[in-house]
Structure 1
Amino acid sequence: MLPLTLFSVIYLFAPSALAGSVQINGSCSQSNNRLTVGTYEFDGDCDSVSFCNSGGVCQAKGCRRDIFPFGYAQDDPNLPKLCPSGQFCPDEEDACQSLIAVGGTCQLNRDDECQPPPNAGDLADNRFGTNVDGAVCLNAQCYWANVTLGQTCVVENTPYIVYFSGGEAIDIVSRGNCQVGLYCDSQSLQCTQQLALGATCVADKECSSMNCLASGVCGEAFDVPRHFGTWVYVVVGIGIFGGMIGTLVGLFFLHARQRDQEREKRIQYWREQNAFRQNIMQMRDTARASLLSLPLGGGTNSARSTLYDEQSPITQHQQQQPKGSGLRKMSVDDVGSDGEMDLANVVREREDDAPRFRSARAF
């Protein structure tokens, strides 16, 4: 493992052309190991599943820091192991190593690499994570976060690049080795009591909530649950039920309009069918009146006169099975029940008169 400090980061700012692209068994150089500008994430020549060993060759990683590390499938058989208690996996992830004693060299923000104090339960910061089990890595050296109020402390200021809609800016994170509830003042280098809500501040570490607002006062911590007044729940409840009722009422009127449209279509269809029926009945009455108005006697313009004048004498077979004209049959069929008997009687009378007309012509 090659220790990395803030002082060596300045030299390693320029990234290599082949950074992070060399695969296992490829050539590499440990001198290219560095922390990424702005984020201080470890990077090197080898890809995400290998590290650069002392021989200058990319080798498969021997341990991992995360449960689900980048570059591996969830069921990858080559997934490196997690280090057991009392050991840590360095940034290079080459192999698990023993925890570092106080005063030893550690990597940036790797408080977990340092040995915890005997009273780790009393010194550990489990809320904001300012230390790990009471141990803290400051300026590449392990300390215990046990310095009391007014005592000399060690401070570490790390600038990070933050991005926002207006561009980018520098966010300085300041850490120290004071006990929980205290902070290391960068000017006096003494542990000072953290400030309460609403107090004037210039950095997050000065507030007990670790949240110094842009207005320069200590605000609530980010993990504090928000509580709302009863009126908020009342308004929300009214809004929910009002929305439900409004939806139902809107659907009722929408469906009512659709029903009215369908009803109008049916009425229009009925009107059209009724008008069509009236037209048919009018045509029937007109046809019946036209047939009944035909003359009974012969004449030069009579259809019956022409028929009997031009035809030969009726045979016996024709007398037994008289045939009416197609026009008469169609007319009888078309006549409704109210005029069917009258029209049939007229046709029967005219057929009975046919022999008398022929006898008169024979003389």
Structure 2
Amino acid sequence: MCDPTPMYRESWQYDDSCEDVYLFCEPSSNTCAYKGCSNADYIQGWDLEKRPYPPRCGIDTYCPDNRSQCTPVVSIGSICEIQRDDECTGTTSICLNSTCFIKGAPLGGNCGADTTVYTAFDAVGDAIQQTIIRDNCTEGTYCNLDSTCINSKPNNAACLQDRECVSNTCSNFDVCINGPEMFRKIKAWLWGVLGACVVVFVCLILALLWFLHRYQSNKEHVKISKFFGDNEEFAKYAMMNDNDSTSTIADSESRLNLPMNESRASVVYLTTPDYVKSHTLTTKSSSAALKSNNNSTARFTTRENTPDV
């Protein structure tokens, strides 16, 4: 058993005597029953493993505060729950003092308003009160203390409520400002500055890449020039050693009356532009050439000293 009388907290959040996230108090039987609809896609404390979310209501229906079941919207002049504009039929309707009205009172016409004080708690637990005043004046007007619709205030004008401003936003400093959802048009000169910044940034990146490429290219050119310079020095040294060796052999064979064979020198140029590898090969080839010359000189010296039989 339960009491179906609606209960609202200081924040105007609905509660009932069932005190269960899955249940509401059925007025016809005064017993707790499962909720049959929802005003949101998320319900705090609801466990989907125990019970699926109740469905959302359609365009021509609404889910009451007790979330019992989807109910057809009510006509103008009918009873509605506190600040539940969605319970009233039409797109320009408003729920004031628990009654559906048309939000269409003209400038200078009579109007009505309701006042609701909400209490919320901040991060440290301090209570914060907020007073909301709503009226049924048309857009661009608001209901003053004389229950008459007057023009709304422009930006930078003093205000106490959001409804007093044309932008429908009153700042914490009691000044009318554009709301955070307001569309802001970017001026043409700002687009020009943005485009110029993009072009300058791209040019700087390209210039940096070009200087980096030139630096690396110069280093490679120096390495290649060093490599071929050492290769030419090696070729000259090899040809000089070969000429000395040929002259020694020719003198020995002439003294021994042996036929002289023509010596041909060939030079192999390395094609891999690697200075370290080239230097290693150059050192090995020079050592081999010196060793070969020494062996040839020793052999012909022996033959020259052999007496004729």
TM over 0.5: yes
Q: Give the TM-score normalised by structure 2.
A: 0.60
Larger Rg: 1 or 2?
1
**CA separation of 1:258 and 1:179: change in aligned 2, threshold 3 A:** same
Superposed, 1:149-168 pairs within 5 Å as 149=108, 151=110, 153-159=112-118, 161=120
In 2: Cα distance, 1:31 partner to 1:282 partner:
114
Unaligned runs of 5+ in 2: 47-51, 267-298
What secondary structure is seen at the aligned counterpart in 2 of 1:183? strand
In 2: Cα distance, 1:219 partner to 1:228 partner:
18
AA in 2 matched with 1:111: D
Pair 1:244 & 2:202 matched: yes
Are the equivalent residues in 2 in contact too, given 1:288–1:335 (CA < 8 A)?
no
Superposed, 1:1-80 pairs within 5 Å as 4=6, 8-10=8-10, 30-31=16-17, 45-46=20-21, 50-52=22-24, 54=26, 55-56=31-32, 59=34, 62-65=36-39, 69-70=41-42
Pair 1:173 & 2:159 matched: no
**CA separation of 1:175 and 1:283: change in aligned 2, threshold 3 A:** farther
AA in 2 matched with 1:99: V
Unaligned runs of 5+ in 1: 14-28, 34-44, 73-77, 121-132, 299-327, 338-346, 359-363
Following superposition, the deviation at residue 295 of structure 1 comes to 9.0
**CA separation of 1:12 and 1:227: change in aligned 2, threshold 3 A:** closer
Pair 1:113 & 2:72 matched: no
AA in 2 matched with 1:9: R
Pair 1:200 & 2:151 matched: no
Q: Which residue of 2 aligns with 1:90?
A: 64
What secondary structure is seen at the aligned counterpart in 1 of 2:211? helix
Following superposition, the deviation at residue 95 of structure 1 comes to 1.4
Q: Give the TM-score normalised by structure 1.
A: 0.53
AA in 1 matched with 2:99: C
**Equivalent residue for 2:79, pick from 86, 97, 104:** 104
Are the equivalent residues in 1 in contact too, given 2:117–2:129 (CA < 8 A)?
no
- Cα RMSD over matched residues? 4.6
**Equivalent residue for 2:168, pick from 190, 193, 210:** 210
In 1: Cα distance, 2:201 partner to 2:240 partner:
58
AA in 2 matched with 1:175: R
What secondary structure is seen at the aligned counterpart in 2 of 1:95? coil
